[in-house]
């Protein structure tokens, strides 16, 4: 059995302590990713996201798990308690993305309204776009292979998540049913310098912005709680 191999790596994505709305629109929103730190106070949301709180207050709620492959076609509904205690675990190199289930998105916003109401996303917006939240919890070594969609932010609440990003015109070579972990270990070391992605690990209180139609893949460096704000 292959051992779990997860590293934080370096960081070539710009990190900012703050960013004005004007600067966001002019220099980032349509052009490039960045990371912003502690843009809002999410103390209450972090309390909801603790393991014990999840088990005590939300353990009986049904969550929808998705396969960890590019298209996330596979779905499975389980109680959150069952997911945390029996399904949530580290992923190794031998695991396939289309056979690995974890919780990211497909949230019932009515049942989880109290939790979502406690979250304050980065105070930046794109005109004529509205935010939609996607909440998740995943084990070390899991992640979603390369895919793209509209713009948004992804913030880590607990743990750490490594991101790999390419502009749309630089389509990465990858197996949509393989895992990000497999790509990082087996493919990335052999890429020429000009084909290496933007690459950075974000930690609690940090939110990464991804522009529209940027390829991106994620890798949870350890067990992570995270929330994305999709703009559409």
pLDDT tens for 182-193 read 999 999 999 999
Question: Does any domain span residue 190?
Answer: yes
CA 221 – CA 211 distance, rounded (Å): 23
User: Which among 100, 140, 112, 142 is positioned nearest to 49, based on CA atoms?
Assistant: 112
Sign of CA dihedral 78, 80, 83, 89: positive
Question: Does any domain span residue 5?
Answer: no
Kindly report the CATH number assigned to the domain that includes residue 180. 2.60.120.650
CA 81 to chain centre: 21
pLDDT in tens, 96-110: 877 888 899 888 888
Question: Does any domain span residue 4?
Answer: no
pLDDT in tens, 15-74: 999 999 999 999 999 999 999 999 999 999 999 999 999 999 999 999 999 988 777 678
DSSP state of 168: T
Domain with 145, as residue range(s), is 15-231
Cβ–Cβ < 8 Å for 228, 154: yes
Question: Does any domain span residue 1?
Answer: no
Question: Does any domain span residue 77?
Answer: yes
- What number is the average pLDDT over the span 82-87? 96
Radius of gyration of the chain measured on its C-alpha atoms: 17
Question: Does any domain span residue 171?
Answer: yes
Element spanning 90, H or E = none
Question: Does any domain span residue 3?
Answer: no
Helix, strand, coil tally for the chain in percent (to 5): 20, 30, 50
Question: Does any domain span residue 6?
Answer: no
Domain total in the chain: 1
- Distances in Å between the Cα of 138 and the Cα atoms of 17, 32, 102, 221 are 27, 26, 6, 10
Mean pLDDT of the chain: 93
pLDDT above 60: residue 135: yes
Q: What pLDDT is attached to residue 2?
A: 42
């Amino acid at each position: 059995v292959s051992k779990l191999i997860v590293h934080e790596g370096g960081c070539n994505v710009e990190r900012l302590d703050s960013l004005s709305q004007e600067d966001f629109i002019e220099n980032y929103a349509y052009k490039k990713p960045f990371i912003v730190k502690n843009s809002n106070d999410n103390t209450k949301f972090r309390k909801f996201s603790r393991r014990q709180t999840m088990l005590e207050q939300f353990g009986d709620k049904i969550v929808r798990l998705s396969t960890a492959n590019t298209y996330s076609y596979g779905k499975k509904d389980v109680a959150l308690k069952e997911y945390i205690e029996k399904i949530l675990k580290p992923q190794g190199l031998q695991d396939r993305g289309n056979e690995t289930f974890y919780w990211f998105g497909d949230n019932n916003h009515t049942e989880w309204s109290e939790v979502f109401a406690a979250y304050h996303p980065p105070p930046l917006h794109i005109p004529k776009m509205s935010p939609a939240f996607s909440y998740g919890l995943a084990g070390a070594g899991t992640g979603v292979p390369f895919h793209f969609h509209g713009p948004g932010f992804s913030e880590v609440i607990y743990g750490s998540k490594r991101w790999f990003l390419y502009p749309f015109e630089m389509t990465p070579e990858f197996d949509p049913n393989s895992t990000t972990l497999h790509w990082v270990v087996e493919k990335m070391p052999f890429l020429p310098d000009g084909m290496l992605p933007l690459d950075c690990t974000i930690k609690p209180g940090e939110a990464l912005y991804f522009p529209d139609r940027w390829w991106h893949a994620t890798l949870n460096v350890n067990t992570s709680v995270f929330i994305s704000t999709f703009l559409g």
